[in-house]
């Protein structure tokens, strides 16, 4: 029995492929609605005080998310998590959602943002052909997009439409411009939209630690056990022959965020017979960087479902 199983008191059980679509996004939407109301009516300092009872409520009355959090923390820490570590994990999630409201409204003055790797992104974008930014449900992807809005960089996120639809509608109600930065997966025109935005010099972002059931998956060791990751973003980046960067926006407490961009691969000049090996190497590097960031800041990974499921994927 691994540390995650010891922490939860049970062996990991299989779940259906849509487990994260039913559980995680529903929980996110509930927290998001509360955070939007607090943020707009009370402001950031008062709203942050209410994050504590909200995080406590979520920890007590969302058993599926609590169990998944415990499983993950046990893996990343190498031991059963303490009560304070479990609470901090949920609190960090709530804090990033709370801050999303202000970031969408371009209140960058409220935050202390440290950015690394920005000049490499700028250099890759200099040819006007765009790049791919591949991250995870790690910290805040909204703070990463805020870097683009603050500097004039065009960043569009590619998201699984069916599960993001309600959240995107709520975000659009906060800032009507927000929905224009999202390209939905699952449509015939999705690839064309990505290609067009790239040709216009945009950075196209994916969160590659979740996938719709239609994606093909690769099992890769992650935090001590095989987990399945989607091949979709890598196939698209290789097909469109663009550079790929790892992105992460870690919440560091208070008003501080640490944003980083790391080169993963450049498919621009690859021959056809080199693509398969290059995509596998890039994906393996991505998972290694994701694990490194999770160990660096365990409370920042927000997949509140059984991610491993005995190595059988989402």
Q: Which residues of the chain have pLDDT under 50?
A: 1-27, 313-314
Contact criterion met (CB below 8 Å) for 12 and 78: no
**What is the per-residue pLDDT for 314?**
38
Beta-bridged to residue 135, according to DSSP, are 207
Nearest residue to 67 via CA among 31, 36, 24, 37:
24
For the chain, which residues make up each domain, given as ranges?
3-311
**What is the per-residue pLDDT for 29?**
59
Distance set, CA 197 to CA 128, 143, 181, 193, 210 (Å): 10, 20, 10, 6, 23
**Runs of H (alpha helix) within 215-256:** 232-239
φ/ψ of 218, rounded to 5, equals -125, 130
Could you tell me the pTM of the whole model? Answer: 0.85
pLDDT in tens, 76-106: 999 999 999 999 999 999 999 889 888 888 8
């Amino acid at each position: 029995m691994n540390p995650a199983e010891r922490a939860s008191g049970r062996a990991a059980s299989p779940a259906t492929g849509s487990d994260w679509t039913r559980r995680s996004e529903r929980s996110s939407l509930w927290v998001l609605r509360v955070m939007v109301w607090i943020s707009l009516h009370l402001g950031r300092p008062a709203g942050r005080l209410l994050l504590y009872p909200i995080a406590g409520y979520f920890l007590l009355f969302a058993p599926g998310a609590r169990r998944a959090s415990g499983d993950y923390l046990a893996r990343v820490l190498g031991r059963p998590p303490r009560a304070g570590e479990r609470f901090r994990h949920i609190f960090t999630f709530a804090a990033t959602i709370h801050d999303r409201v202000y970031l969408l409204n371009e209140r960058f003055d409220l935050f202390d943002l440290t950015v690394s790797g920005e000049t490499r992104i700028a250099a890759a974008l200099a040819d006007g052909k765009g790049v791919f930014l591949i991250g995870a449900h790690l910290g805040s992807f909204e703070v990463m997009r805020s870097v683009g809005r603050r500097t004039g960089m065009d960043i569009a996120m590619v998201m699984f439409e069916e599960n993001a639809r309600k959240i995107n509608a709520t975000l659009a109600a906060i800032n009507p411009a927000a929905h224009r930065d999202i390209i939905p997966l699952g449509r015939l025109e999705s690839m064309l939209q990505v290609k067009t935005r790239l040709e216009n010099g945009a950075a196209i972002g994916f969160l590659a630690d979740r996938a719709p059931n239609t994606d093909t998956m690769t099992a890769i060791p992650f935090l001590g056990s095989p987990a399945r990751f989607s091949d979709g973003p890598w196939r698209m980046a290789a097909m469109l022959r663009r550079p790929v960067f790892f992105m992460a926006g870690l919440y560091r407490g208070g008003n501080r965020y640490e944003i980083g961009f790391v080169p993963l691969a450049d498919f621009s000049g690859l021959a056809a017979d080199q693509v398969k090996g290059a995509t596998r190497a890039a994906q393996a590097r991505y998972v290694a960087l994701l694990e490194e960031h999770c160990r660096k800041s365990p409370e920042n990974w927000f997949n509140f479902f059984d991610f491993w499921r005995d190595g059988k994927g989402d």
